[in-house]
Amino acid sequence: MKKMVSFLLIFFMFISISVLPSSGHAIQEGSFESKIDQLAAASPDLQGAIAGISIRNAADGSVIYQHLGDVRLRPASNMKLLTAAAALNVLGEAYTFPTEVYRDGVIKSNILRGDLYLKGKGDPTLMKSDFDQMAEDLKKRGIKKVKGNLVGDDTWYDDVRYSLDLPWSDETTYYGAQISALTASPTTDYDAGAVEIKMRPGSKSGEKVMVTITPKTNYVKIINRTETVDEKGKKKIKIEREHAKNTIVIDGTLPLGSNSIKEWVGVWDPTRYALTLFKQSLAEKGIQVSGKIKTGMVPAEAQLMLAHQSMPLSKLLVPFMKLSNNTHAEILIKEMGKVAKGEGSWEKGIEVLEEELVKFGVDPHSMVIRDGSGVSHVDLVPANQISQLLFSIQSAKWFPAYLNSLPVAGASDKMVGGTLRSRMKTTDVQGKVKAKTGTISTVRSLSGYVTTNSGQTVIFSILLNNLLDDEKKNYIEDQIVRIIAE
């Protein structure tokens, strides 16, 4: 009896993969639909997993093929497809994020007798070089000394730093960095609220690994417990930041002659991080601040001295989507809430996101949305809803900017290929796939557009859930896209 039950379970599992009545037509042997069925049934990746697949004609939006297309699944970073579309619709392609400098005292004999304020309004692209330019502009305005405090105002958003379901283990990672209206990035990848750590072996065995930090700052403290070992030694480095502190402990070994390693670590309190970098820039430009670094609101009577503008949203979308930047997604959620509902919070931002999705024929009531990045394991979205969004937005005036932001299969340039730069490099699909990747533990996703061999554009959304956590990924999503391209 047990053998019969097992047989029936296996039979019905196979049926659930191969019979797709909602595709609207019989599946012919040798068709792309049957090839996808056979691939899904045979793939070891999908044994015990769930696959949601939706494929549409880009010209009329008709569903060509689906499997569990209406089943809610975790989208991982495919959630960013929704966030980017809503942000473009609410904020516009030309939208910028200002950072403002105020004073509340008088300037006399090159001395500001009062406090200097740095007010952030969500710019995730601020770098040390931007603070240098602000300091230079203040110097040109005749300020050589500030007899007061340096105050950071991050009240443009609320004070909730982490999204609802962010795993505690992600607290120190760059992709789980705290969200603040006043923050800073280490490089032009714009990982806001993080520092970049570069490690290379010493000149001989027994020496500590050489560690450099970008930007150069004393805001974080490095405890270096590493060792350079001989050429046959292990390459094993572990980086941890102490909870609620900015002490970063680096352990492990690097063999002589090995390549350098880069890692990014989220800081504790990005507002003070940005203020510390600004104070450093002021000092380097010869402007002394006698008071303390503090946080607070810009007084109503304070005078605006200068304002720095970020790149427009159309350009910000490139590092956001190509590199799948979580902090950008959450900042955009809060910014939509601030602009549309007067409150820079996840709650209000998600309300705006859901209202925008309706305009594209997407049903937010079929989803569970907890953040803008997809890092949550509670987020749930059906593949058919993602493909519907990708169809509808083609008529939006900002669609070219949206399409340009998607990773391009096999394109080696990081700001073109993004997270697809090392995938689908064969001639049948290289450069023909523009799609958003997604990866969290036990989840992989891929949704976007593919140009077929006949020159047609096809929309697809592939959500794979309940995968085993195996680093050797076969990327069945890529194989499905290849079948579509044929």
- The bridge status of strand 98-103 relative to strand 288-289 is unpaired
| Catalytic residue check, 447 | no
Name the 3-class secondary structure at 353: helix
CB 148 within 8 A of CB 239: no
The residue from 35, 54, 77, 180 that is catalytic is 77
Q: CA–CA separation, 401 vs 10, rounded Å?
A: 46
| Catalytic residue check, 77 | yes
Where residue 397 falls (left for φ over 0; alpha for ψ -120 to 50; beta otherwise) is alpha
Which run of H or of E encompasses 249? strand 247-255
Name the 3-class secondary structure at 354: helix
Q: CA–CA separation, 379 vs 315, rounded Å?
A: 27
CB 105 within 8 A of CB 60: no
User: Token pair of 154, please?
Assistant: 């991050």
Q: CA–CA separation, 396 vs 122, rounded Å?
A: 25
Per residue, the 3-state secondary structure of 39-106, as one string, reads HHHHCHHHCCCEEEEEEEECCCCCEEEEECCCCEECCHHHHHHHHHHHHHHHHCCCCCCEEEEEECCE
Q: CA–CA separation, 461 vs 387, rounded Å?
A: 6
Q: CA–CA separation, 265 vs 196, rounded Å?
A: 7
| Catalytic residue check, 80 | yes
Which run of H or of E encompasses 316? helix 313-317
DSSP string spanning 397-419?
TTHHHHHHHS-BTT--SHHHHGG
Half-sphere exposure of 269 (CA within 13 A, CB side): 18
The residue from 180, 324, 376, 405 that is catalytic is 324
Select from 143, 62, 132 the least CA-distant residue to 107: 143
Tokens 């930047």 correspond to 325
The residue from 80, 334, 348, 434 that is catalytic is 80
Buried-exposed string 90-100: b where 16+ CB fall within 10 A, e elsewhere:
bbeeebbbebb
Cα–Cα separations (whole angstroms), residue 453 to 29, 142, 180, 421, 478: 20, 64, 46, 21, 16
Q: Just list the catalytic residues.
A: 77, 80, 324
